[in-house]
Amino acid sequence: MQSKQPSNKRRKDAVMDRKDAVQRYLELRPIVRARMAGAVPPELRQEFESVTPHQLRALLLLPEAGLSMHKLALSLEIMDATASVLADRLVAQGLASRVPDPSDRRVVRLVASERGKILADRFRETQLRAAEDLFDSLSDDQARAFLDVMETLASTGIGDHAVGEESFGSGLHPS
């Protein structure tokens, strides 16, 4: 019986440590996001703030040939009608256009405009620089451990696995 007591105590300590770890994660997450947001130059921050995270996400998803509203909705995990409204807003801002599908005239595709492509490319570059800045503060071992944890979390399939506004981690809208 005595041998079980230390084991139970270790299990209880592990549970407490896990709760503390989760709490600490929740405390650190907005700080890291704010640090990423701080890496965005002011002139780009204004440009990025003219689009919502969902709009930016849609632009980042659009291949050269564009996507049908249905495929856009599937990619964003939203309803077709919501994708259509999102497309309307991107078109109104001059970030995309609607073009007929060459293989099916009933289908309309959303294609990024030149301005939309530039915005998406600038966002990708900004994210890359911000991530590089974050990784510069890690040792090689810490970077490997961090990526190992991220790989594990990404492969669990639990929760919002889509690249959404919150999971996108844009750093533009710190929480």
Q: Is the pLDDT score of 7 beyond 70? A: no
CB neighbourhood size of 104 (10 A):
10
Task: State the pLDDT at residue 64.
Answer: 94
* Cα–Cα dist 110/148, whole Å: 36
* Cα–Cα dist 112/58, whole Å: 9
Q: Is the pLDDT score of 15 beyond 80? A: no
Task: State the pLDDT at residue 44.
Answer: 76
pLDDT tens digits along 52-85: 889 999 999 999 999 999 999 999 999 999 999 9
Give the Å distances, CA to CA, from 106 to 31, 63, 98, 99, 101.
Answer: 47, 20, 12, 11, 8
Give the Å distances, CA to CA, from 128 to 61, 93, 141, 157.
Answer: 17, 25, 20, 25
- And the tokens for 57? 């996400």
Q: Average pLDDT of 110-136?
A: 92
pLDDT tens digits along 146-163: 999 989 988 986 554 444
In this structure, CATH architecture of domain 51-156:
Orthogonal Bundle (1.10)
Q: Is the pLDDT score of 167 beyond 80? A: no
Side-chain half-sphere CA neighbours of 25 within 13 A = 7
pLDDT exceeding 90 applies to what percent of the chain?
A: 49
* Cα–Cα dist 89/98, whole Å: 11
When pLDDT is cut at 50, 70 and 90, the band that residue 172 belongs to is: very low
Q: Average pLDDT of 97-113?
A: 93
Q: Average pLDDT of 78-95?
A: 96
Task: State the pLDDT at residue 9.
Answer: 59
Sort residue 171 into left (φ over 0), alpha (ψ -120 to 50) or beta: left
Residues 6+ apart with CB under 8 A from 124: 60
Task: State the pLDDT at residue 35.
Answer: 84
